[in-house]
Amino acid sequence: MPACRIASYGPKVFSVLMADFIAQEIKRAGHWAGSFAQCVMTYDERFIRRKVIKTAQHDSLLVDLKKTTSLDQGDAFVLTDGRLIEVIAAKESLYEVTGDLVRLAWHIGNRHTPCQVEEHRVLIQKDKVIGHMLEHLGATLREVQEPFTPEGGAYGHGRTHSHEHGATLHAH
């Protein structure tokens, strides 16, 4: 980039140049061991491609992945020197949903709302509109502060934001 344009990029260029670590790939949970640091990230923060983030140890990490990636609890960033930084799901404000879970989960899924399905409850991000709808359907809601690790998309790992299904692409 020409020297005269550096100033137009402002502090972002300097934060990238001054990052303590760089990660350009990840390892999935269960396929690595031995991290030296952690990044505590919310569900929304764990959907990432390129960004400078802080580790729990207050170091800066430039994440520069080839494509936008949904990270799960226990995944790890692979640094350029081979060391690993573990991804930890942060506690966040959620609704604990109880009641007729089969019926309620159908309505949650019908609205493409991420949800963490457990035996006796479903967790969703705190959303007053969805919460009101669920209460109207007979759900009991309780506000909780917990890590949010929702189910992945039906056609692949993590989130699905389009209707392409990778290797199972089909016409409708």
Structural domain boundaries of the chain? 3-89, 91-147
What is the structure's pLDDT at 152? 76
Phi-psi region of 159 (alpha: psi -120 to 50; beta: other; left: phi over 0): beta
**DSSP secondary structure string for all residues of the chain:** --GGGHHHHTHHHHHHHT-SEEEEEEE-TTS----SEEEEE-TTTTEEEEEEEE-TTS-EEEEEEEEEEE--TT-EEEETTS-EEEEEEPEEEEEEEESSHHHHHHHHHHTT--EEE-SS-EEEE--HHHHHHHHHTT-EEEEEEEE--PPPPTTSSS---SS--GGG----
Q: Which pLDDT belongs to residue 10? A: 46
pLDDT of residue 36: 95
**Residue 52 burial (CB < 10 Å; 0-12/13-18/19+)?**
middle
Rounded-to-integer distance, Cα 79 and Cα 62, Å: 9
pLDDT score, position 154:
63
Alpha-carbon gap, residue 43 to 90, rounded angstroms: 8
Q: Which residues of the chain have pLDDT under 70?
A: 1-17, 153-172
pLDDT for position 18:
79
Does the 3-89 domain belong in CATH 2.60.260.20?
A: yes
pLDDT tens figures, 124-149? 999 999 999 999 999 999 999 999 99
> Which CATH code for domain 91-147?
3.30.70.790
